[in-house]
A and B are shown apart, each in its own frame.
Chain A
Amino acid sequence: MNPREPVVTGLGCLAAGGAGLETVWAGMLAGRVACGPPVRFAAAPNRRSPVFEIGAGSWTPSRLAPGPDSDRTLCLEFLLIALEEALGRAGLRPDDLRGRRIGVCLGTTVGCTLNDEAFYRAYKKGERPGLPAIRRFLDSNPAVFLAGALDLRGPVSTIANACASGTDAIGQAAAWIAEGLCEAAIAGGVDELSRIPYLGFSSLLNTSASPCRPFDAGRDGLNLGEGAGILILESRAEAGRRGASPLAVVGGYGCSADAYHVTAPHPDGAGLERALRQALAGRDPAAISFVNAHGTATVPNDAVEGQVLARVFGPGVTVVGTKGYTGHALGAAGGLEAVFTVQGLGEGVLPATAGFQDADPACLVVPTRQATEARHTFAVSTSLAFGGGNAAVLFEVPR
């Protein structure tokens, strides 16, 4: 076996369905959907898209990196909560990581954008606002924060590839391990809901006024969400040295660009197909267990994605879309969906695709309608992004 093969040894997540993978996964298998009007922020009455917001009472601050809570963004809180779970599942304590060549690669959008509305309003009025908001922003870049807080000495990167950020972060972290740049890495995605992207997506007319319906014939847009999905990746040698049992292998990763349009996917999906074939790394597509699709529930995304999945894997491929449980968590989406993919492989079962009811012939694939067995050895999670980015990551488990 390749000692540098990247394996997954820990998973953690936080989403609208609750804190902790067990809670979130159980809710998904039970078909629970926590979608409603935004609570943490207000928006004009004609902006009515519901969101998948993490309720204030559903989480408690992490003990991983004690600090002044008022200075910490929600992004960082979410990150630490999911990380604490992932480390626990991997059998690691923070002290086990300190000073070691551990990489951090995280995807985000809101977490690396200076869009503090209150600060800017004051600046615009000429009030010469103080800098706490700026310092908070400067201290809150997810990967930089984590590397500093845990004294990690491996590569550090925050990937800002819009909706594909989390998937790309996992692929990049796996590449670091395969190249020998670090022995382990914390990877995934994190994001928090904010008025800024909420109104921005509304302006693009691609949000739905009701809970989203991935791949459904009547789908009419996405709902935003938030959360964190974190994976602990280790080289097979490092996991073996610790006696840790891998949950899965990161068996492949692909990424590509459409070079077609800044907000719409290429209608022929060639870029996504290339990313998928790279991630397959020579495996027989027909042997796939399932695809955890990007499935935003926008008309163009799901049609293009479904057509590509049918072309690569066959129209009967098992497809699940999980944004009906989490919303589109932007930079966190790829992290959350990777966590669900590994969980589905490990448990051998997938949830129904929440929101899906009527198949759309244009999509060519039909996602899960109920809890579905997943018995083969590998699965793929896909992401498509603003700017024409495509990413796919493949996980594999022994049977």
Chain B
Amino acid sequence: MSAVRILGLGPVPAGGPGVARLLRILAGESLAFSETESAAALAEFLPPARTRRLDPLGRMALLAAYTALRDAGLAPEEARSERWGIVVGTAFGPQTSTFSYLDGLIDSGDHLVSSLAFTNSVHNLPAAQVSLALGITGPVQTLSAFGETAGAALQTACGWIRTGRADRVLVILGEESSPVMDYVVGRMGGGAGSVRPLTNECTYAPRPGGAALLLGSGAAGYAGILEVAEGLTTAEAASQAAAADLLYCAASGRSDEAGDYRVLASRSAQVRAHAGFYGSLATGLGLETAIAALALAGRLPEGNPSGSAKPRTAAVAGVAGPNRVTLVSLED
């Protein structure tokens, strides 16, 4: 079985895509999410006419995918293959289209619902849009299981590569925000503060964003081997996380300041705290894994505590599920 490596990163944290953007956030810049900036970034890869009818989640998925390819030094045409696959993980799916469809139903009646909004509201449409744009004709899946989503997506991709079902897989993990979700989070007691990982406190700050990870075997774009541990009990996961490099803990301190992406901790208290709702976001693990890969490559900014992880040999990103924790480790 082949070891799975990260060949390219396509983080879409706040405002715009790319590793440089993520590094600026990690260095302490506070950047707000901007649909306009994201749309401009996507226009580098696809004509706006091609993407204007897409749901924001679909556009984010495309932006993340193209960014990961560029980061890996690959032209988009190289993805046009039945040996490439796509796994999209999203806990809540295309929210804008989901609620836009309901708007049409409520405002105009049963007979005038929008077929476009309905189509775009189907969870697997972002994956389909990436497949269409890049010509990827291998396995394509969309997973949606709250806290299990991101880990399961990475595990699925690793399995495909290890067993020869695909040579390269784009794993795209992300969420939209929406006024409805903001309302829900507010009613649940979150939204006002920032995330405080590795504490027993938990506030929720929903932010849109995501990340694509281009996975494959062979020569590594980033140091390390990606492994997904699953089915751990909370105690097992807490123990592993504690023993591992607490890279994401340091990074999450910056997340507090930037307030634009989430880093979830895997300590048992945090597992419980996050289990119910926004701890289930798919975005968290995608960005965490990207940060871990950057740390192992020695690319985290100086001055950030995470930067001291440079010579270390392992990093762990974790996301909490109701009864288990998924860990992603990068090991030389």
C-alpha gap A175/B87 in the complex (Å): 15
A258 / chain B contacts, CB cutoff of 8 Å: 131, 137
B113 / chain A contacts, CB cutoff of 8 Å: 199-200, 202-203
Q: Is the CB of A255 within 8 A of B119?
A: no
Q: Is the CB of A113 within 8 A of B115?
A: no
Closest chain-A Cβ to B304's Cβ sits at a distance in Å of 34
Q: Is the CB of A179 within 8 A of B187?
A: no
Encode B133-145 as 1/0 by CB contact (under 8 A) with A: 0111111111111
Is A389 an interface residue, CB under 8 A from the partner? Answer: yes
Q: Is the CB of A259 within 8 A of B110?
A: no
Closest chain-B Cβ to A199's Cβ sits at a distance in Å of 5
B188 / chain A contacts, CB cutoff of 8 Å: 131
Interface residues of B in 118-132 (CB under 8 A from A): 118-119, 121-125, 127-129, 131-132
Q: Which residue on chain B has the smallest CB distance to residue A155?
A: B230
B115 / chain A contacts, CB cutoff of 8 Å: 200, 203-205
Q: Is the CB of A274 within 8 A of B132?
A: no
Q: Which of B129, B162, B323 contacts A151 (CB 8 A)?
A: B323
Is A349 an interface residue, CB under 8 A from the partner? Answer: no
Is A387 an interface residue, CB under 8 A from the partner? Answer: yes
Q: Is the CB of B101 within 8 A of A387?
A: no
Is B47 an interface residue, CB under 8 A from the partner? Answer: no
Q: Which of A101, A130, A141, A197 contacts B146 (CB 8 A)?
A: A141
C-alpha gap A386/B155 in the complex (Å): 24
Q: Is the CB of B132 within 8 A of A123?
A: no
Q: Is the CB of B102 within 8 A of A115?
A: yes
Q: Is the CB of A154 within 8 A of B276?
A: no
Closest chain-B Cβ to A222's Cβ sits at a distance in Å of 15
Is B105 an interface residue, CB under 8 A from the partner? Answer: yes
Q: Which of A115, A153, A387 contacts B124 (CB 8 A)?
A: A387
C-alpha gap A121/B324 in the complex (Å): 35
Is B38 an interface residue, CB under 8 A from the partner? Answer: no
Q: Is the CB of B93 within 8 A of A112?
A: yes
Determine the interface band of chain A, counting residues with CB < 8 A from chain B.
35 or more
Is B245 an interface residue, CB under 8 A from the partner? Answer: no
Q: Which of A124, A141, A176, A263 contacts B103 (CB 8 A)?
A: A124
Q: Which residue on chain A has the smallest CB distance to residue B323?
A: A148
Is B192 an interface residue, CB under 8 A from the partner? Answer: no
C-alpha gap A386/B123 in the complex (Å): 10
Closest chain-A Cβ to B332's Cβ sits at a distance in Å of 24
Q: Which residue on chain A has the smallest CB distance to residue B186?
A: A128
C-alpha gap A44/B110 in the complex (Å): 6
C-alpha gap A148/B234 in the complex (Å): 13
Encode B308-332 as 1/0 by CB contact (under 8 A) with A: 0000000000000111100000000
Closest chain-A Cβ to B141's Cβ sits at a distance in Å of 6
Q: Is the CB of A203 within 8 A of B141?
A: no
Q: Is the CB of B231 within 8 A of A153?
A: yes
Closest chain-A Cβ to B121's Cβ sits at a distance in Å of 7
Is A318 an interface residue, CB under 8 A from the partner? Answer: no
Is B288 an interface residue, CB under 8 A from the partner? Answer: no
Q: Is the CB of B122 within 8 A of A387?
A: yes
Encode B179-192 as 1/0 by CB contact (under 8 A) with A: 01001100110000
Closest chain-B Cβ to A399's Cβ sits at a distance in Å of 28
Is A220 an interface residue, CB under 8 A from the partner? Answer: no
Closest chain-A Cβ to B191's Cβ sits at a distance in Å of 13
C-alpha gap A195/B118 in the complex (Å): 12
Q: Is the CB of A160 within 8 A of B123?
A: yes
Is A15 an interface residue, CB under 8 A from the partner? Answer: no
A263 / chain B contacts, CB cutoff of 8 Å: 119
Encode A247-261 as 1/0 by CB contact (under 8 A) with B: 000000001111111
Is B156 an interface residue, CB under 8 A from the partner? Answer: yes
Q: Is the CB of B124 within 8 A of A386?
A: yes
Q: Which of A47, A144, A389 contacts B147 (CB 8 A)?
A: A144
Is A83 an interface residue, CB under 8 A from the partner? Answer: no
C-alpha gap A120/B184 in the complex (Å): 11
B183 / chain A contacts, CB cutoff of 8 Å: 123, 128
Given contacts A46-B111, A147-B323, contact A387 B139 (CB under 8 A): no
Q: Which residue on chain B has the smallest CB distance to residue A115?
A: B98
Q: Is the CB of A144 within 8 A of B145?
A: yes
Is B99 an interface residue, CB under 8 A from the partner? Answer: yes
Q: Which residue on chain B has the smallest CB distance to residue A261?
A: B132
Q: Is the CB of B145 within 8 A of A175?
A: no
B128 / chain A contacts, CB cutoff of 8 Å: 257, 262, 386-389
Q: Is the CB of A143 within 8 A of B145?
A: yes
Encode B155-198 as 1/0 by CB contact (under 8 A) with A: 11001001101000000000000001001100110000000000
Q: Is the CB of A109 within 8 A of B137?
A: no
C-alpha gap A186/B52 in the complex (Å): 40
Q: Is the CB of A156 within 8 A of B124?
A: no
B103 / chain A contacts, CB cutoff of 8 Å: 124
Q: Is the CB of B114 within 8 A of A274?
A: no
Known: A44-B109, A155-B230, A181-B155. 14 other contacts (CB 8 A): A47-B110, A124-B106, A141-B144, A141-B146, A144-B147, A172-B156, A175-B163, A199-B110, A255-B139, A257-B128, A257-B139, A262-B132, A271-B137, A278-B165
Chain B contact residues, CB within 8 Å of chain A: 82, 86, 92-93, 95, 98-99, 101-103, 105-106, 109-111, 113-115, 118-119, 121-125, 127-129, 131-132, 134-148, 152, 155-156, 159, 162-163, 165, 180, 183-184, 187-188, 230-231, 233, 276-277, 321-324
Chain A contact residues, CB within 8 Å of chain B: 43-44, 46-47, 101, 109, 112-115, 117, 120-121, 123-124, 128, 130-131, 134, 138, 141, 143-144, 147-148, 151, 153-162, 168, 172, 175-176, 178-179, 181-182, 195-197, 199-205, 255-263, 270-271, 274, 278, 385-389
Name 7 A/B residue pairs within 8 A (Cβ), A-sorted: A112-B145, A161-B140, A255-B141, A257-B136, A258-B137, A386-B124, A389-B124
Q: Which 9 A-B pairs have the closest CB atoms?
A: A387-B128, A200-B118, A44-B110, A160-B123, A158-B145, A203-B115, A157-B152, A257-B140, A112-B144
